[in-house]
Structure 1
Amino acid sequence: MSRVRPTGAWDGTRFAHEGFVYGTDHELVHRVVPFVLEGFSRDEPVLVVAGERVRSLLAAHLGPDLGRLALFAAAETWYQGGARTLQAYDRDLRGLRATTPHWRLAAEPVWLAAEDGREWSRFESVANRCYDDMPYYSLCLHDRRRLPADVLDAVARTHPLTWGEGTPVPAAEYEEPGVFLRSVQPAWAPRPAGAEVLVVTSPWSARRQTCALVPDDRRARVGDVVLATHELLLNSLTVAPYAELTTWMEGDVFVVEVSDSGPGLPDETRGYVPPDPGDGPHGMWLAWSLADDAAVRSGPDGTAIRLYFGP
């Protein structure tokens, strides 16, 4: 254990993000316990958010030191959907940064094992960009015995660090957030021939038109559709004289596309990033939060964003 370097060369000034995949309880304990004890030795707050089995193992091996943890919480209670979970997480991180020079977190996102929790991989990817200047080490725990192959593949592609030879090392499979997001967003196909297309020059006048386009069996979602679409139109009309609003059904999913001929987005990840509390609401973040899914195509000739609303 003395040869283990739990955080390698991390100096506590920026975000470090490791995806630790293990297959035995022994591997888990011999990775996490030194990580926790190193934090104590550096007077860093150490937070642990994990499933019941991991918490039990750590409690048994930490003994009295368990009480020194700044947080020891059940991950099963944390997940509220991707956007809401990230917003709560973001709030906690900003609170820590206001009071703490640097800290470390060992977290087990147990919800990745469920179908409706897999979108979290997108937020893991975006964290590498939006939290780059946050001074903490995030050790993400993934049990290969309970996670499917596609989730483990996403872990490798969304974490810049992995564990090797007793120290964190660069992950060979890691992808930049923009690349990863494009690969996991809904497949981008041409608009269907029967799609409704409107040319919009005022986002306010388009609200009634958007409302009328929502199918009868989606009326329960009309508020979400109108507000999300309005936010995207506001963005488009700040960079272009008009936007196109296109809607269609894709199976049982209602699709809304807002496109413009502006200069393109500076960062395609911004819809996944919680707004800075000092800046007020961000249109793309709000739209992403209201829709069930989203996809982006952006370049120097314009931007098209699709929002997906299920039953």
Structure 2
Amino acid sequence: MGNGARGYEKESRSGRGLALVMESGSAEMIRGTENGRQGFVHSALLYHSRREYLDAVVPFVLEGLAMDEPVLVAVPGDQLGLLRDALGGEGSTTGLQLVDIVEAARNPSRFLALEGSFVEVNADRRARIVSQVCWPDRTADEFSACKQHEALVNSAFEGRQLTALCLYDAERLADDVLTSACATHPVLWKGGSLQPSADYSPDDVLAQCNQPLPANPGAVTYMVRKSSDLRPARSFAVNYAGWVGLSQDGIEDLQLVATELATNSLMYTDGACRLAFWRDDDHLVCEARDNGRLDDPLVGRLDPGPTGPASRGLFLVNAISDLVRTHTASTGTTIQAFLRLDSSTGPIS
């Protein structure tokens, strides 16, 4: 380890931090995962201070590297800098990947693909992930998508040799977000030790987040009933995008999003797709409505690869969009994709 890492260890051992976590928290997790017995461990830390944050995350990362477990750390940029300092430059260590999650997963629906890729690349060994999908500056719509993501992680990585630590700022996040953290994580870090979550109920969270998305009465619409309608639908979308001021890159993205959503409807439903477009503050929204039902909530969130064309379209929509909202029921499915009108990186309001 570098000198900075040793310095942090010495500082923590002089207090209650690393020693406590090593004895009853992270070490407990490690003992349980020896010889692959534990499978997927999905834990959450609701932290109240920077000290508590570092006392959990830094040992978790360093222990993983010491055990030859690759570690992905995906947190907001300011926290990334904090961890780099605490790790003493360990960001260049083989096996450690640092990612600014604000840039990589502004759309929470695409973070699972990043995690999945990391797990697949390291499929020959146990791996670790530290993530902070729910950072405080997100909006209500984004938080709803974050809750869905955390609930789906459990089934996405069931049986995989993976230990995940998800971070929640208990001082700045709303109570409903913290409550959801307890419902989507089977184990919680409390007082330096892992404890089962008595409120674990990910299916309930998914049901709560699957709420109808009201149609916008001011939207412009285009009906796609057959494949020959796709080209004029793209032209319709381009004209509207130019009118509201979407950039050239954004227009190309919109064409792809509209095409993939409409094509998906034509392939997997027996009816038409109603495309709708409107401006929502600093974003252009592309909505697709059809009479089908999306039975697998993981569709479009994990890279389907070249042999999985059925979900390739929705995967591309998630990869391109700044936010994707979905509601599905026996009466039909609605998908809303948000595209930013400018190059800013602020949250969707």
TM over 0.5: yes
Deviation larger for 108-117 or 128-137: 108-117
- The yes-or-no answer on 1:302 pairing with 2:332 is yes
Equivalent pairs: percent with the same residue? 24
Of 21, 28, 31, which residue of structure 1 is paired with 2:46? 21
Equivalent position of 1:285 in the other structure: 315
Gaps of 5+ in 2: 1-19, 74-78, 342-349
Equivalent position of 1:109 in the other structure: 132
Of 100, 123, 135, which residue of structure 1 is paired with 2:161? 135
**Cα shift at 1:210:** 3.6
How far does the alpha carbon of each residue in 1:81-112 deviate from its partner, in whole angstroms, 9 at most, with x for none?
44566544433221101xx232334x253882
Equivalent position of 1:217 in the other structure: 244
**Cα shift at 1:236:** 1.5
SS for the counterpart of 1:257 is strand
RMSD: 4.0
**Cα shift at 1:4:** 0.9
**Cα shift at 1:122:** 5.0
**Cα shift at 1:10:** 4.6
Aligned length: 298
Q: How does 1:16-165 map to 2 (within 5 A)?
A: 16-24=41-49, 27-28=52-53, 31-32=56-57, 35=60, 39=64, 43-47=67-71, 49=73, 51-59=80-88, 70-72=94-96, 74-76=98-100, 79-82=103-106, 87-97=113-123, 100-105=124-129, 107-109=130-132, 112-115=135-138, 122-144=148-170, 147-149=172-174, 152=178, 155-164=181-190
How far does the alpha carbon of each residue in 1:120-142 deviate from its partner, in whole angstroms, 9 at most, with x for none?
66544433232224211012344
Q: How far apart, CA to CA, are the structure 1 residues paired with 2:146 and 2:264?
A: 26
Q: How far apart, CA to CA, are the structure 2 residues paired with 1:284 and 1:308?
A: 14
- The yes-or-no answer on 1:249 pairing with 2:282 is no
Equivalent position of 1:200 in the other structure: 224
SS for the counterpart of 1:51 is helix
The structure with more helix, counted as a fraction of residues = 2
Which amino acid letter does the alignment assign opposite residue 304 of structure 1?
A: T
Q: How far apart, CA to CA, are the structure 1 residues paired with 2:326 and 2:24?
A: 42
How far does the alpha carbon of each residue in 1:185-243 deviate from its partner, in whole angstroms, 9 at most, with x for none?
8x722452x54444422234323234224421245333222221221222222233331
SS for the counterpart of 2:289 is strand
SS for the counterpart of 1:271 is coil
**Cα shift at 1:153:** 5.1
- The yes-or-no answer on 1:240 pairing with 2:269 is yes
Equivalent position of 1:265 in the other structure: 294
Q: How far apart, CA to CA, are the structure 2 residues paired with 1:133 and 1:125?
A: 16
Call closer, same or farther: CA 1:94–1:122 in 2, change over 3 Å.
same
Deviation larger for 27-36 or 17-26: 27-36
**Cα shift at 1:5:** 4.6
Q: How far apart, CA to CA, are the structure 1 residues paired with 2:168 and 2:120?
A: 25
The TM-score with structure 2 as length reference comes to 0.67
SS for the counterpart of 1:273 is coil
